[in-house]
Each structure stands twice: as C-alpha cells, then as structure tokens.
Structure 1
Amino acid sequence: MGRWGVRDEDAATLLGGLSVKTYRRWRSGDYGRVGRDLADRMSNLLGIHKALRILFQDPARGYAWVTRPNEAFGGRSPLDVMRQGGMGDLQRVRAYLDSARGGW
C-alpha cells in the first residue's frame, strides 16, 4: 500500500484493524496467520489495485486517484471511504472501479 501513500495506521485499518506493530512486522516479511476476514480484505485491496492498473496506463495516476476527491463518493476520496474500516467500504470502492472498467 506504500504506492498509495497510505500511513501505516491507515494500512492497519484497511486490513481489518491490525495493530500498527503487527502491520509493520508483516510488512517486513514476518507474516502471521491469515484468517477469513483478512483474506477477504486483501482480495478486495488487490482487486482495487488491479482495476487501477487496468484503468490507468500511467500507474502514478492510478495511485493518485485513490487520494483525490471523487463525486461518486460524495466528494470524499476513495481512501477516505476505505479508511472507515468496514469490509463494505472496501467493496464499495472495488465495485465502483470494477464497473468503470467493465469488470465481470
């Protein structure tokens, strides 16, 4: 999530409320147990990343999209929506991108 410019605290929230200490340990390669909720969250985040790479030829534009205000999200950025921490928040951003790219 480093390319999105997400702070460690936000990344921990996106991954379901991990502690920042656990997130940093995982980031360094010391992975722990991955339960169903975390696997689903990672799947959604990877889906968002994939959709951005498909929609934007320049990866930097796709990464920047995550932090820019968007009418589809009431003027909030997709990151602001995802920072709310719910699975539905991740799914909302992913569904928007999937529909924009014509996902199946």
Structure 2
Amino acid sequence: MATASSPHSVSHEVDTPEAGRIALKFFFNLMEKWGCTAEQQRVLLGSVSNTTLYKYKNLPRVRLPHDTLERISYLMGTHKALSIIFSNSPERAYEWVSKPNSAAPFNGQSALQYMLAGRVVDLADVRRYLDGVRG
C-alpha cells in the first residue's frame, strides 16, 4: 500500500542541486521558445542580477531559492496549460504569451507583459487564468 509523502520529504526532493539544474534547464528552454530577452528572464526569475542569470545559464547543480523555484513552477504550469489548450498547434501555445489579451486580468496587455510586473502573484494569476480556460 502506497503512502503519501510528507511535505517535509517533498521539499527535500525539490530542494536538491539536481532539481535546481533541471528547473533551470526547463526555464531557459521555455524562455527561448517565448523569445524572452535576458532582462525579461531576470525579472521572471525574481529580478536576479546579471551575474546570477549568466551563472544559471550554465545549468549548474545548485539549490535554488524557494522564490525562484516557485516562479519556475508557475511558468511550468503555464506552459502545461498552454500545451493542453493548444494541443493541435504548439506554435500558438508559445506565441500566446506575447499576444495582446483583452481578458481580465490582462486588459489589453500580453500575458508576458503582465508577468513582467515582476511579482510572484502575477505569474500565479496567469497560471490560474489558463487553468480556468482549460477547465
């Protein structure tokens, strides 16, 4: 009989240098697909310094700060939701984030512009919006 992992053991699984490397690899692959600049990447990671961004680009085995992991997690959820919504057109899934959107909370901005306000809640809002769209 399988037992649920305790929250403590789950945090250890994502708080490893290898998990950090995998999260960064996902992040930079997604940033390439979205066409994000280095400055946009810095903001999405939590306004990290240029030095930190370029260190991360080397995909080190590093324990990422909780805030950075949380941000990447929201971006993963956004990517997953878009992949489901646009399952017949992967290109549209990657383009969607840059297109103006009249729906709340975007009010004419693109989802990327909205997320570039820099707060974790902005990333969470986009993911929540897409989860609602896909049902």
CA distance in 1, matches of 2:79, 2:42: 17
Task: Give unpaired runs (5+ residues) of structure 1.
Answer: none
Identity %: 43
Give CA deviations for 1:20-40 in whole Å, capped at 9, x if unaligned: 231222122124331211111
In the other structure, the counterpart of 2:93 is 62
CA RMSD between the two structures: 1.1
| Higher gyration radius (CA) | 2
The 5 A counterparts of 1:36-47 are 36-47=66-77
Letter in 2 for 1:20: N
TM-score (norm 2): 0.71
The 5 A counterparts of 1:8-23 are 8-23=38-53
SS of alignment partner, residue 71 of structure 1: coil
1:89 aligns with 2:122: yes
Letter in 2 for 1:77: S
1:26 aligns with 2:59: no
Letter in 2 for 1:59: P
CA distance in 1, matches of 2:60, 2:102: 39
In the other structure, the counterpart of 1:79 is 112
* Structure with more relative contact order (C-alpha pairs < 8 Å, separation 6 or more): 1
Structure 1 residue runs of 4 or more that deviate by more than 3 Å after TM superposition: none
Letter in 2 for 1:6: C
CA distance in 2, matches of 1:10, 1:31: 23
The answer on whether the counterparts of 1:8 and 1:24 sit within 8 Å (CA) in structure 2 is no
Residue 60 of structure 1: how far off its partner (Å) = 1.0
Letter in 2 for 1:79: L
Residue 75 of structure 1: how far off its partner (Å) = 0.2
The answer on whether the counterparts of 1:82 and 1:89 sit within 8 Å (CA) in structure 2 is yes
